[in-house]
Amino acid sequence: MARLRDSYAALPPGSPVRLAKRTSNLFRGRDRQAAGLDVSGLAGVIEVDDQVAEVQGMCTYEDLVDATLAHGRIPLVVPQLRTITLGGAVTGLGIESTSFRSGLPHESVLEMDVVTGSGEIVTTKPGDELFDAFPNSYGSLGYATRLRIELERAPGHVALEHVRVDDLDELAATIEQVVTSGEHDGERVDAIDGTAFAPGEAYLTLARWREGPARRPSDYTRQQVYYRSVQQRRTDELTTYDYLWRWDTDWFWCSRAFGAQHPLVRRVWPRRLRRSDVYWKLVALDRRFHVGDRLDRRAGRPQGERVVQDVEVPVEALPEFLAWFDREVGMRPVWLCPLRLRRQDGGGEAGRPWPTYPLTAGQTYVNVGFWGVVNVGPDAPQAPRNRAIEAKVTELGGHKSLYSEAFYAPETFDRLYGGEQLARVKARHDPDDRLTGLYDKVVGGR
């Protein structure tokens, strides 16, 4: 914290305040960063005490899980990628298969310290104006330096059941039934997500916490690829550790773009390098040197538009969205992750407790994640597919996460993401406007 304060004091008066952080899980362009806050000493776990952990803001979930599992505990929601930080999942958004019962990561935060644009360290709790506006603010209100979060008992291992549900209306109905009852066919469900491989082929993966070690756990860090097992197996079992990171090894299915799923390549690709942060670096190289564009031109393919998004749509709108998505975008597989907010009141207007990401309390949403390139032709730089997705999600009463590119007009953005309240909180805690505003960050790329 002393180094953080010193680095703030060293910034030229009136200059922008940002993190001196070299890595990121964001998929949108940003301006080159000047000197920033030194958070290099804020990447650890301070304490694990039964049902609560006290954690520094730049601690990755990989390090956090290592610490809590040693005490037989896990965070209520563990985002899929190892190098997502706890502070990042709160000031941004995170989600995973326990979100249908535990909400989003910021909803299990009991207290946090935030360094604001004025350099003040503010301790804030649920119900405080700063706390309630902080989720989805992406550093426009400050950066979390310390968080106290709830934990739950870790299972001995995790049993999986992959249920094929091909009709879209039945898919939505089954999701709502599991979310509402917490059961499927009379048996408790502890976590749920899904994979839609093609029109007419979708699977819901039901996870159940089990006592004791797994007898014959699968290992998808070797030759086998987890997402393919969803189609190939009715049941499965994983260690708790491997369940939490089941998607990270192949970045869901995106590692195939680098050849990492080819049997011969996989055999020589070191296991320690089969992880999302390695693939992210490869994407950064592609963006820098335009390798994909060159390969498309050489192969005679139309110019590609990168479509990397996560959206939340109400469960009853899921069939319409997926049918539209197949017609207009045509990208598969897609990931499905149901969620409901834990919090029922406070923060924003009645029934919408988190003002900067105003989902409705009591409503089941389904996160639909899709990540890849669509070959659209010379219009690709205008992002026609991404703009169409934004419009469709808004039409259906949903919301889009802001970790990737966004194209909203300022008025639309403020209406969808609580712009009025965000501006009020920012004015109080950043009176000199040294933190880049949310719209400028996520749409303007600053």
Average pLDDT of the residues in 301-316: 96
Query: For residue 22, what pLDDT is reported?
Result: 67
How many Å apart are CA 15 and CA 9, to the nearest integer? 11
Neighbours of 427 (CB within 10 A): 10
How many Å apart are CA 240 and CA 156, to the nearest integer? 7
Average pLDDT of the residues in 284-297: 83
What pLDDT, in 10s, does the model give residues 166-212? 999 999 999 999 999 999 999 999 999 999 999 999 999 999 999 99
pLDDT band at 399 (very low <50, low <70, confident <90, very high): very high
Which tokens belong to 134? 């902080």
Q: Is residue 99 part of a domain?
A: yes
Q: Is residue 391 part of a domain?
A: no
What's the number of domains the chain is made of? 1
Average pLDDT of the residues in 378-399: 97
Query: For residue 99, what pLDDT is reported?
Result: 98
pLDDT above 70 for 412:
yes
Query: For residue 31, what pLDDT is reported?
Result: 59
Q: Which of 192, 189, 132, 146 minimizes the C-alpha distance to 165?
A: 192
How many Å apart are CA 127 and CA 345, to the nearest integer? 9
Residue count of the chain, please give it.
446
Q: Is residue 122 part of a domain?
A: yes
How many Å apart are CA 385 and CA 138, to the nearest integer? 24
Q: Of 17-31, 253-267, 296-310, which gets the smallest average pLDDT?
A: 17-31
How many Å apart are CA 59 and CA 88, to the nearest integer? 9
pLDDT above 60 for 415:
yes
How many Å apart are CA 255 and CA 230, to the nearest integer? 17
Query: For residue 24, what pLDDT is reported?
Result: 72
Burial 363-375 (b: 16+ CB within 10 A, else e): bbbbbbbbbbbbe
How many Å apart are CA 333 and CA 154, to the nearest integer? 30
Query: For residue 20, what pLDDT is reported?
Result: 86
Q: Which residues pair with 366 in a beta bridge?
A: 313, 338
* Spatial contact of 306 and 371, defined as CB atoms under 8 Å apart: no
- Establish whether the linkage from the previous residue to 355 is cis, with ω within 30° of 0: no
How many Å apart are CA 345 and CA 438, to the nearest integer? 24
pLDDT above 90 for 351:
no
Average pLDDT of the residues in 392-396: 98
> pTM for the whole thing?
0.95
pLDDT above 90 for 30:
no
Q: Is residue 114 part of a domain?
A: yes
**Contacts with 360 (C-beta within 8 Å, 6 or more apart), sequence order:** 341, 351, 352
Average pLDDT of the residues in 24-53: 83
For helices 318-328 and 384-395, what crossing angle results, to 10°?
Answer: 160
Q: Is residue 77 part of a domain?
A: yes
Q: Is residue 35 part of a domain?
A: yes
Query: For residue 445, what pLDDT is reported?
Result: 77
Count Cα atoms within 13 angstroms, Cβ side, for 283: 23
Q: Is residue 274 part of a domain?
A: no
Which tokens belong to 138? 């992406």
Q: Of 39-48, 99-108, 347-356, 435-444, which gets the smallest average pLDDT?
A: 347-356
Q: Tell me, what CATH number does 6's domain have?
A: 3.30.465.10
Query: For residue 203, what pLDDT is reported?
Result: 98
Amino acid at 214: A
Q: Is residue 49 part of a domain?
A: yes
What pLDDT, in 10s, does the model give residues 102-131? 999 999 999 999 999 999 999 999 999 999
Q: Of 164-168, 226-230, 294-298, which gets the smallest average pLDDT?
A: 294-298
Average pLDDT of the residues in 120-143: 97
Q: Which of 409, 384, 412, 389 minimizes the C-alpha distance to 400?
A: 389
Residue 52 or 350, more confident: 52
pLDDT band at 28 (very low <50, low <70, confident <90, very high): low
Q: Domain residues for 7?
A: 2-154+426-442
pLDDT above 70 for 245:
yes
The average confidence (pLDDT) of the chain is: 94
